Amino acid sequence: MGLVVQKYGGSSVADAEGIKRVARRIVDTKKAGHEVVVVVSAMGDTTDELIELAEQVSPIPAGREFDMLLTAGERISMALLAMAIRSLGHEAQSFTGSQAGVITDSVHNKARIIDVTPGRIRNALDEGNIAIVAGFQGVSQVSKDITTLGRGGSDTTAVALAAALGAEVCEIYTDVDGVFTADPRVVKKARKIDWIGFEDMLELASSGSKVLLDRCVEYARRYDIPIHVRSSFSGLPGTIVSSTNPNKPEGGEMEQAIISGVAHDTSEAKVTVVGVPDKPGEAARIFRAIADAEVNIDMVVQNVSAASTGLTDISFTCPKTEGQKAIDALGRVKQGIGFESLRYDDAIGKISLVGAGMRSNPGVTATFFEALSEAGVNIELISTSEIRISVVTRGDDVNEAVRAVHSAFGLDSDTDEAVVYGGTGR
Amino acid sequence: MGLVVQKYGGSSVADAEGIKRVARRIVDTKKAGHEVVVVVSAMGDTTDELIELAEQVSPIPAGREFDMLLTAGERISMALLAMAIRSLGHEAQSFTGSQAGVITDSVHNKARIIDVTPGRIRNALDEGNIAIVAGFQGVSQVSKDITTLGRGGSDTTAVALAAALGAEVCEIYTDVDGVFTADPRVVKKARKIDWIGFEDMLELASSGSKVLLDRCVEYARRYDIPIHVRSSFSGLPGTIVSSTNPNKPEGGEMEQAIISGVAHDTSEAKVTVVGVPDKPGEAARIFRAIADAEVNIDMVVQNVSAASTGLTDISFTCPKTEGQKAIDALGRVKQGIGFESLRYDDAIGKISLVGAGMRSNPGVTATFFEALSEAGVNIELISTSEIRISVVTRGDDVNEAVRAVHSAFGLDSDTDEAVVYGGTGR
């Protein structure tokens, strides 16, 4: 029996009852003979409430102080969880990110982990304790200030500790039963995936699947730490994310599933730069302007230019929340670049089909487009990687498109099995 | 212009408005040319809410985890306060007790400060920052765990930092205008004291005055740090607590005020051990039993024994909350000691008259008792120190007794000047 790292999100520890339920689950794991390290997020809406307070006292919260503020949330939940475990008769100690040895760079509010030195955790385990660690936070190597890891930070804390401690698995507890072949709120017949490889999970995560963030999956892939995504409410086995399928013997003859799942994303907007002179360096100038404005872009599409005019159109997608920044930045370079106009459209949606098996299955793209066509969904942009096809459609068409594609690739379950239990954690 | 340490209690930073008001006051001090270190308590009822959560998850919260939980409150207020100051255009950095170098012993929930190493604070000040420090918390020297200082902890943090940094004054901001000659809620004509010596302040604090706790005053006396107790609401000058009166030249001819003030306390109960054999060692056995039960006793009174029986009565007072423990402990040793019975009375009150000047003024005791007699107040116990006289009366008589004594010693103000602004901080 090896070491298990478990991560519980905010919705799992939203109140005293939730904390007690989680404590029982942790104790069960300990009783089964495992060493247990638990990473916990702030309770329920605590973080949002702290952010609101910060906005009330200061229009632009400062990085260092903002991190100090936000990390209070995890201190509360970790201390309460340790108390709850102790009241069940088991030894538990809680540790801040700093105490747990989560060393980061100095970029406040979105620090990167640069080292993990879990000496105090190892000692606590050796003394028979369950170790509780505050997620989402670390300490900067240079300034010794408290930092936060940004979105998905607690999941990343869990995977990083699992890697540093040589855990046999990192269990990410959330409010759904695992990773599904599509968002269960959209596709009632979505199936829970028992196993998925790191590559496919990365593509799903970066295409709109909210269960795991790509950053955490990337970390797990680099250190080859299996992730078990599962529900803290139901207790059912969830989805294993790892390099090789544990249920299929090495060299076995079964083929990998062609398609892992369908992801969608309606949080993006489409920007089209119309009438760009088709000569070297124009695209670079456009995307340098975007980068300088710190806008994150996703898809980029440029088609061949019209021979008659020598002009081309360049489209890209970015988060709706950053759309205005992108338009402003491009407006400032319009004269210099000499394009004709800008078009902005935030009523779009993106549907992505993901599966490592599509590499060796030439019919996938055709089936995908046929499904969309039969559903009457118009395609506006297309972008592909080796194991993913993404299209942009009207936002209103997205749900219908996801269901059509899900069905066309035989992913539909025989029953409506998906259950969503609560909110989403951090 | 020297360094000033300011401490703000929970009622001063109860909400975003309070935090902004405190931030403006701090910036004003900085603008006046001072270096400023600010110690802050948790916002309003935060600590009580955290305690309630702890009780919900665990019947007996563990020391280490309980401290980790409670210290989250000060992290929140200090980070918000630093943000609010920055938004006023001044540099501020916040520090946990550990970061500020508040080193304690390992007694969780009521740790003692054993060293203060404020190197990071000194650096922050040198760089032009206002330093914000979390009150009430430290880090244990041996285990490196987070500790809390118990009741009055934030005041003690402030005085300890003032001593370690060589501050010219430690300003304790609260919800009253200073230390009064009596509790303004009881005596409308109570006067604000402009200056009071450490000795008298210590006696007042240990006799029921709630403005400062004896622990904090004792620390200030040891390191000779002047305390300025004042209101964060009114901004008026408050009470200076120090070794020598700054308004009276050394060797000046003015006499010290005979009486500093009248304190009262209705939180205690009286226990009488009736019919104790009057022989050596009996009192020791009684108070060993009390001490082993960890009951804190205040007054102890034994009168001469009746010659006819050779028996005496021993009375003592202790907090009402510990009364049952005391009775149980004495019940267990009744047989061994051979006393007759126990009497328990929690309807009592204590009135104390405090003033270093009473040493050289023989009429004080007589005037005190005459005032009580004229007010029709019966005296049940008497106990005196060199600069204090305390009596126990019926609890119902306390307010009347305080007013009578206050008036008899000429302490009444011409006007009703006392104002109470809010709740009480920690």
| Residues A328-337 pLDDT 10s | 999 999 998 8
Interface test with A, best of B22, B38, B57 (most A CBs within 10 A): B57
| Structure confidence at residue B316 (pLDDT) | 92
* Euclidean distance between CA atoms B174 and B11, whole angstroms: 8
Radius of gyration of chain B from its Cα atoms, rounded to whole angstroms: 23
Ranges A298-302, A348-352, B91-95, B224-228: which has the least confidence: A298-302
CATH number of B3-242: 3.40.1160.10
- Distance of alpha carbon A88 from alpha carbon A152, whole angstroms: 30
Q: Which CATH architecture has domain A3-175?
A: 3-Layer(aba) Sandwich (3.40)
Return the pLDDT at B417: 57
Predicted local distance difference test score (pLDDT) of residue B247: 72
At residue B91, φ and ψ (nearest 5 deg) are -80, 135
Q: How many CA atoms lie within 13 A of B5 on its CB side?
A: 31
Residue B249 has pLDDT above 70, yes or no: no
d(CA B190, CA B194): 13
Please state, rounded to an integer, the average pLDDT across all residues of chain B.
90
Q: Cα separation of B220 and A52, whole Å?
A: 38
Which positions in chain B touch A78 (Cβ < 8 Å)? 68
Q: What is the mean pLDDT of chain A?
A: 90
- A83 CB neighbours in chain B (<8 A) are 54, 57-58, 61-62, 65-66, 69
pLDDT in tens, B187-241: 999 999 999 999 999 999 989 888 898 889 999 999 999 999 999 888 899 999 9
pLDDT value for A416: 62
B143 touches chain A (CB under 8 A): no
* Bridge partners of residue A382, in order along the sequence: A391
Can you tell me the distance from the alpha carbon of A154 to that of B375, in angstroms, rounded to the nearest whole number?
67
Tell me, letter by letter, the H, E, C secondary structure of B6-45: EEECCCCCCCHHHHHHHHHHHHHHHHCCCEEEEEECCCCC
CB B368 within 8 A of CB B381: no
Least confident of A10-19, A306-315, B395-404: A306-315
Q: Is A276 helix (H, G, I), strand (E, B) or coil?
A: strand
CB of B332 closer than 8 Å to CB of B289: yes
Average pLDDT of span B338-351: 94
Closest by Cα among B333, B274, B341 to B303:
B274
Q: Is residue A38 over pLDDT 70?
A: yes
The region of weakest confidence among A270-274, A419-423, B347-351 is A419-423
Asked if A60 is an interface residue toward chain B (Cβ–Cβ < 8 A), one would say yes
Q: Do B79 and A86 touch (CB under 8 A)?
A: no
- Range list of H helices, A318-397: 323-337, 364-374
Tokens, residue A85? 């475990």
Segment B81-110 shows an average pLDDT of 94
pLDDT at A311: 86
pLDDT in tens, A132-183: 999 999 999 998 899 999 878 999 999 999 999 999 999 999 888 999 999 9
- The answer, yes or no, to whether residue B251 has pLDDT greater than 70, is no
Alpha carbon of A146: minimum distance to chain B alpha carbons (Å):
10
Strand partners, B388: B354, B385
What is the structure's pLDDT at B418?
A: 55
- State whether residue B411 is helix, strand or coil: coil
Contact by Cβ (8 Å): B92, B86: yes
Angle at A90 between CA A88 and CA A93, to 5 degrees: 115
pLDDT at B253: 41
Q: How far A149 CA lies from chain B's nearest CA (Å)?
A: 17
> pLDDT tens digit string along B28-49?
999 999 999 999 999 998 998 9
Count of positions (residues) in chain B: 426
Q: At what angle do helices A16-31 and B46-57 cross, to 10 degrees?
A: 40
Asked if A65 and B94 come within 8 Å (Cβ–Cβ), the reply is yes
Residue type, A171: E
Helix residue ranges, H only, B138-269: 153-165, 198-206, 214-223
Pairing between β-strand B341-345 and β-strand B268-277 as defined by DSSP bridges: antiparallel
Distance CA A418, CA B192 (A): 69
Strand partners for A294: none
In A, which residues are within 8 Å of B23 by CB distance?
57
The pTM for the full model equals 0.80
d(CA B119, CA B149): 21
User: Please, which residues have CB within 8 angstroms of residue B376's CB and are 6 or more apart in sequence?
Assistant: B397, B400
Give the pLDDT confidence of A240-264 residue by residue, as tens digits: 999 988 776 554 444 556 899 999 9
Rounded Cα–Cα distance for residues B94 and B76 (Å): 10
- Among A22, A55, A58, A87, the strongest candidate for a mutation testing the B interface, having the largest count of B CBs within 10 A, is A58
Q: Topology of B260-410 in CATH?
A: VC0802-like (3.30.2130)
* Residue among B52, B67, B68, B143 with most chain A CBs within 10 A, to mutate: B68
Q: Give me the residue from A19, A58, A94 closest to B87, CB to CB.
A: A58
> What are the structural domain ranges in chain B?
3-242, 260-410
Residue B425 in this model has a pLDDT that exceeds 70: no
Q: Answer whether A333 touches B (CB < 8 Å).
A: no
Q: Å from B23 to nearest chain A CA?
A: 10
**Cβ contact (<8 Å) for A80 and B23?**
no
- Taking CB atoms and an 8 Å limit, are B64 and A93 in contact across chains? yes
Amino acid, res. A29: T
Distance CA(B181)–CA(B231), nearest Å, equals: 16
Interface of A with B in 169-198 (CB under 8 A): none
CB–CB of B68 and A94 under 8 A?
yes
Report the residue from B57, B86, B94 with minimal CB separation from A68.
B94
In angstroms, the CA A238 to CA B422 distance is 53
Residue A241 phi, psi (nearest 5): -110, 115
- Count A/B contacts: CB-CB distance under 8 Å: 116
The Cα–Cα gap between A187 and A393 comes to 18
CB-CB: which of B16, B59, B96 is closest to A57? Answer: B16
Q: What distance in Å separates the CA atoms of residue B326 and residue B314, rounded to the nearest whole number?
A: 14
CB within 8 Å: B80 and A16: no
Rounded mean pLDDT of B268-279? 90
